[in-house]
């Protein structure tokens, strides 16, 4: 299955839904694909646009209908939205009704007090700018990207409600909120008639924070879905660091991971997880993706890609048999919370 691009005119694969799987988002009526595509990294001005376009269109051909963006994504900030907006205008516009498009605001994108935080001005101003970047009248999901303790939560909630009431967003979400604050804003939003659709936390075999802090259970109790990011722990769960650190690896040039994270303990645990994956006939990355999706409250897992091959490989994770209790026990033994991460 490949993107139909002839003389720069794109036509989506007719069989794009043949193998795609979808999961309900909390208590809402919205289904999300098991894998959503995130533009967090490698979709800024430092990567070739044609490569970005090829990957985005290939994702849609695979039945990935949800594209996750934010005003902060680049570099520079907003570049990923501008690049996706170009693809939307030139290729995906006629499929807009089949696409779930999300963006976020509130993570700092400048020194101005209006370019960060959870105020009405910061959130609604950023949303207007994002709509211009994307070239669309509305986004399907608008998130507050990170909690802002300096702003009353009532004000943040009211801004999210206004985004829906103004027709600029269909649903609202939050990201990186701790359970107590997530529960509080969920109550505020429900009272205002705009339920919290979704929460975006980090989750992987090596980062089990949402299991430990109760967010998994809270999502079920409060009726919102979870879309998890970094399911491969910034590449730690791909096996690329088992022998050495490649020159072009994220641990060399990323602010989110350093070579100091690649310890002997990390390699020992990851080697055992890799053995389990090999015994199942899959890669470690596929095992890690399958593992996060085993949770019924996880509506979708966010994946990125630097090539169409990598995208195909990761999406194939859903083709493998469910993990058995014995296999899950092995993962629990070696997938120790905090391994390779600064938690």
pLDDT tens by residue, 301-322: 999 999 999 999 999 999 999 9
Q: Is residue 118 part of a domain?
A: yes
- Residue pair 101/67 in contact by the 8 Å Cβ criterion: yes
Tell me, what's the pLDDT at 262?
87
**Per-residue pLDDT tens listing for the chain (343 residues):** 444 554 468 999 999 999 999 999 999 999 999 999 999 999 999 999 999 999 999 999 999 999 999 999 999 999 999 999 999 999 999 999 999 999 999 999 999 999 999 999 999 999 999 999 999 999 999 999 999 999 999 999 999 999 999 999 999 999 999 999 999 999 999 999 999 999 999 999 999 999 999 999 999 999 999 999 999 999 999 988 888 666 565 544 555 666 788 899 999 999 999 999 999 999 999 999 999 999 999 999 999 999 999 999 999 999 999 999 999 999 999 999 999 998 8
Largest CA distance in the chain: 53
What's the pLDDT tens digit per position in 136-185?
999 999 999 999 999 999 999 999 999 999 999 999 999 999 999 999 99
Per-residue DSSP letter, 320: S
CATH number for 63: 3.20.20.100
Domain of 87, in residue numbers: 4-200
- Residue pair 68/24 in contact by the 8 Å Cβ criterion: no
Q: Is residue 326 part of a domain?
A: no
Per the structure, the count of domains in the chain is 1
Q: Is 36 helix (H, G, I), strand (E, B) or coil?
A: strand
Q: Is residue 70 part of a domain?
A: yes
Tell me, what's the pLDDT at 124?
98
Tell me, what's the pLDDT at 206?
98
**What six digits make up the tokens of 1?**
């299955």
What global pTM score does this model have?
0.94
Distance between CA atoms of residues 144 and 307, nearest Å: 29
What's the pLDDT tens digit per position in 237-258?
998 888 866 656 554 455 566 6
**What six digits make up the tokens of 20?**
């795609």
Distance between CA atoms of residues 248 and 47, nearest Å: 14
Distance between CA atoms of residues 80 and 102, nearest Å: 12
**What six digits make up the tokens of 310?**
């990598």
Q: Is residue 247 part of a domain?
A: no
User: Where do the H-state alpha helices sit in 5-119?
Assistant: 49-61, 79-87
Closest CA to 105 of 173, 41, 36: 173
Q: Which residues pair with 10 in a beta bridge?
A: 5
Q: Is residue 330 part of a domain?
A: no
Contacts with 13 (C-beta within 8 Å, 6 or more apart), sequence order: 1, 2, 3, 4, 61
Q: Is residue 282 part of a domain?
A: no
Q: Is 243 helix (H, G, I), strand (E, B) or coil?
A: coil
Q: Is residue 13 part of a domain?
A: yes
Residue 149: burial class (beta carbons within 10 Å; 0-12, 13-18, 19+):
exposed
Q: Is residue 312 part of a domain?
A: no
């Amino acid at each position: 299955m490949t993107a139909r691009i002839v003389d720069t005119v794109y036509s989506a694969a007719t069989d794009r839904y043949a193998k795609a799987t979808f999961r309900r988002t909390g208590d809402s009526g919205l289904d999300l694909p098991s894998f959503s595509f995130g533009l967090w990294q490698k979709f800024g001005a430092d990567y070739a646009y044609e490569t970005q376009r090829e990957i985005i269109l290939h994702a849609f051909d695979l039945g990935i209908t949800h594209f996750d963006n934010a005003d902060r994504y680049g570099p520079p900030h907003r570049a990923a939205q501008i690049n996706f907006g170009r693809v939307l205008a030139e290729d995906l516009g006629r499929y807009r009704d089949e696409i779930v498009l999300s963006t976020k605001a509130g993570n700092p994108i400048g020194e101005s007090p209006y370019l960060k935080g959870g105020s009405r001005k910061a959130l609604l101003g950023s949303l207007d700018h994002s709509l211009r970047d994307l070239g669309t009248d509305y986004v399907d999901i608008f998130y507050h990207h990170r909690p802002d303790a300096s702003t009353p939560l009532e004000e943040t909630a009211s801004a999210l409600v206004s985004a829906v009431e103004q027709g600029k967003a269909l649903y609202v979400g939050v990201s990186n909120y701790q359970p107590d604050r997530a529960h509080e804003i969920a109550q505020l939003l429900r009272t205002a008639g705009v339920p919290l659709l979704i929460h975006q936390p980090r989750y992987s075999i090596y980062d089990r924070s949402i299991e430990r802090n109760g967010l998994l259970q809270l999502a079920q109790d409060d009726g919102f879905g979870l879309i998890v990011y970094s399911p491969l722990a910034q590449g730690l769960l791909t096996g690329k660091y088992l022998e050495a650190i490649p020159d072009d690896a994220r641990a060399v040039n990323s602010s989110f991971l350093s070579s100091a994270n690649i310890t002997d303990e990390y390699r020992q645990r990851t080697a055992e997880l890799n053995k389990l994956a090999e015994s199942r006939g899959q890669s470690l990355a596929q095992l890690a993706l399958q593992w996060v999706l085993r949770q019924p409250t996880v509506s979708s897992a966010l994946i990125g890609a630097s090539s169409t091959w990598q995208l195909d490989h990761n999406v194939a994770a859903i083709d493998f048999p469910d993990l058995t209790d014995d296999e899950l026990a092995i993962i629990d033994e070696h997938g120790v919370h905090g391994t390779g991460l600064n938690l």
